[in-house]
Amino acid sequence: MKQIFFAILCVLATAGVLSAQVRPPSGFSDFFPEAAEIGASTRDFGPVFEDAASLAKLTNGKLVSDVGFIRYERADYSGASPLSIEVFTLLDSLAAYSLLTLLGENPVQPGPPGDAFTAGSNSFLFARGRIFVRVLGKGDTGELLEKSAAIVGAKTEHISGVGRPGLIDYFPSDGYDASSLRYFPSQDAYKTWAGGKKPDYIDTNGDMEIATARYFVENRSGTFSLMKFPTPELAEEYYDELAAPAVPNGLSIYARRAGPLVACLEGDFDPVSANRLLSEVRFSYSLHWINDDGNNAGIIWGVPRVILSSVVNSLIFSLAACVIAVFIGFAIGTGRFALRRYKEKRSPVPLEEDPGFTRLNLRKR
């Protein structure tokens, strides 16, 4: 009897464990780990919403909304080291990378977890495609935060995206402070972040991407701002209207335009060092042939085989058309000549009296 009772208890205990490891409730993704996976005692799901107005309840919610918000969900874990995991679905991967630079405490590093990540004292942030994950803890939970982020990162491996924005690759390498990088996919995000302290030389009324970073060259320092416009014409118009305002403390402002890029350098740099930094901002267009087969088997003399064969076939067709046209013209001319000779031989009228001509004889009476 005791054995039967013990077996029933085991079944109930097993059922309790299995029931605890259930999928998240309706409306939540499968990104959140089980409580046992991270050594927590319980897992409670928080709010899930797609209304940007609800972000006002969160820290830096307005900034999240400005970069391009779509969806929010959260799970809270209790135990010896309580923590929470927030998952933001954003407009694109540029928005996710932007939050890494704006909300992180340390420089952004390439993943895994995710495409890129940054770790702080009580937080671990990473971006995978357009998914931004924020793991928050209390106290000395660095290893637990990293472990939790790694589990969530593994659950998001199927998500793809651009990852690193191309704009930040135009920053000069000399004197660059990676920890100061801030990337804004839109002017609205920049206005929210800067508040009323944005510099006068950055006009946020236009459509642009913005990135800023601090630079330290020898004993000089300053802020390097990069702006990318949709077209070179808009960048040229912005650059032409750029007026250097008065800068306190003896600082100077230098600017340069390269294609759709406008770079501004503010600080105590002299003209020589400023020119050396700004001259590294270059923009060039490049054309790449893309093969579906992933190799160069379809490339001849640097040109895809498909395009090259199309050109050759066009030339062959044109040459054939010319030959056919000449042949048809020659055949028509030969036929007309033969027909005329045939008519001359059968006609009793001499050639000079060809009935094809009308002759008028005038006689004087």
> Which region holds residue 249: left if phi is over 0, alpha if psi is between -120 and 50, else beta?
left
Question: Would you list the DSSP string of 301-320?
Answer: TTEEHHHHHHHHHHHHHHHH
- In the sheet that holds 252-258, the strands lie side by side as 176-184, 209-217, 220-228, 261-267, 252-258
The pLDDT value recorded for residue 17 is: 41
What is the reported pTM? 0.71
309: its two tokens:
């064969």
Secondary structure class of 129 (helix, strand, coil): coil
Determine the residue type at 58. L
Strand-strand pairing, 116-119 and 109-110: antiparallel
129: its two tokens:
């495609």
Positions in the chain whose pLDDT score sits under 70:
1-23, 26, 140, 162, 243-249, 285-306, 344, 346-365
Where exactly are the structural domains of the chain? 24-155, 181-278
Give the CB-side neighbour count of residue 16, counting CA atoms within 13 A.
Answer: 6
Distance of alpha carbon 153 from alpha carbon 112, whole angstroms: 7
The pLDDT value recorded for residue 19 is: 40
The pLDDT value recorded for residue 5 is: 39
| Class in CATH terms, 24-155 | alpha beta
Distance of alpha carbon 272 from alpha carbon 276, whole angstroms: 6
Residues contacting residue 211 through CB under 8 Å, at least 6 positions apart: 165, 167, 168, 171, 181, 182, 183, 184, 225, 226
The pLDDT value recorded for residue 3 is: 40
The pLDDT value recorded for residue 361 is: 64
The pLDDT value recorded for residue 348 is: 59
Summarised one tens digit per residue, pLDDT across range 283-312 is 876 655 555 555 555 666 556 666 777 788
Distance of alpha carbon 32 from alpha carbon 128, whole angstroms: 15
Distance of alpha carbon 177 from alpha carbon 282, whole angstroms: 20
